[in-house]
Amino acid sequence: MSSTSSSVLRADQIWIDGKFVKWDEGHMHVMTHALHYGLGVFEGIRAYRTHDGRLAVFRLREHIQRLMDSAHICMLQMPFTIDEIMEACVELLRKQKDLFANGAYLRPIAFMGDGAMGLGAVNPTRVVVTAWDWGAYLGEKGMREGIRAKVSSFTRMHVNVNMVRGKISGQYVNSILAKREAVLGGYDEAILLDISGFVAEASGENIFMVNKKGIIKTPPLSSPILDGITRDTVLKLIRDSGRTVEEVTFTRDALYICNEIFFTGTAAEITPVREVDNRMVGDGKPGPLVQFVQDTYFRVVRGQEPRYADWLTYI
């Protein structure tokens, strides 16, 4: 059994450019272009232990399709097809089935490799898939009780600067700075505004809110936000329940006076927000909508909702 720390399990092998190698042999040259200039794309994907004891990857094809789309946006030529990368993910988990019996986090990444340097260089694309055991990104307590968030002094980049349909490695420096600022200030997460001052998203999650009239809102895809797969999942779950969601812009003070806020993301899953900028959200605990979304989401990923069975790829 291997680990990146005393408490985090990771795979014994890594898939690199079509071959499995030992974790400790997963090296890249220091002159890798992406290390210098940030030209890479990646995904975060979760596999869950289902109610019948099997392991299933959640929305694998959608994630790998987004990886390919991100690469296309960046003009990275992908040497593998969607099906080949999907199979790499499945095979990696198959090889580690005993280690990850309770679930795993997959990280496919594609990036410009070593060769020529400079901004105009075009080198072969390297593709890697790794996996490890990653619990609740914002903490188990945060999942249960809600987290504290801070509106960041850093702004989410304009849509003509930030390629918002791509999950691009270098663009996450903006998120890292916002996250560090929030954590150093004693908060759990940052909320970034767009250049017009409207709420965009958190450092690594999409955001939903419920106002005092019970209207559910989330920023639209015309905002500088990632088209989150968990966001899309939650939109469908809410709408399938007969509720309405408005995809509209809203201001930070709308968050201050709303009844509920929660974040969505593969890593964060469904995380309630109990406080924003030292202002309690609602009554300071997870509300009825986020409780419904959490319960339904985890039933879906654990294979307990047959109508969404096609979202699961069993190992």
Q: Residue 167 catalytic?
A: yes
Which of 94, 1, 60, 72 is closest to 312 using CA atoms?
60
Tell me, what's the pLDDT at 304?
Answer: 98
Give the residue-averaged pLDDT of 308-313.
Answer: 98
Name the residue type at position 299.
R
Tell me, what's the pLDDT at 3?
Answer: 39
Catalytic residue among 150, 167, 179, 217: 167
Q: Confidence class of residue 7 from pLDDT cuts 50, 70 and 90? A: low
Give the residue-averaged pLDDT of 240-268.
Answer: 98
pLDDT exceeds 80 at position 221: yes
Tell me, what's the pLDDT at 137?
Answer: 87
Find where tokens 């790829």 sit: 313
| Strands, E assignment, 206-268 | 206-210, 216-218, 245-247, 260-265
Q: Say which CATH topology domain 2-132 has.
A: D-amino Acid Aminotransferase; Chain A, domain 1 (3.30.470)
The number of C-alpha atoms within 13 Å of 69 and in the hemisphere containing its C-beta is: 14
Tell me, what's the pLDDT at 136?
Answer: 80
Tell me, what's the pLDDT at 1?
Answer: 37
Separation CA 88–CA 185 (nearest Å): 40
Stronger pLDDT, 285 or 97, i.e. the higher one: 285
Q: Confidence class of residue 9 from pLDDT cuts 50, 70 and 90? A: confident
- CA dihedral over 156, 162, 167, 168, signed as positive or negative: negative
pLDDT exceeds 60 at position 149: yes
Which of 201, 169, 175, 202 is closest to 44 using CA atoms?
169
Q: Confidence class of residue 5 from pLDDT cuts 50, 70 and 90? A: very low
CATH number for the domain whose boundaries are 140-301: 3.20.10.10
Give the residue-averaged pLDDT of 299-305.
Answer: 98
**Domain extent listing, the chain:** 2-132, 140-301
For the chain, what is the mean pLDDT?
Answer: 95
Which of 285, 275, 226 is closest to 255 using CA atoms?
275
Secondary structure of residue 8 in the 3-state scheme = coil
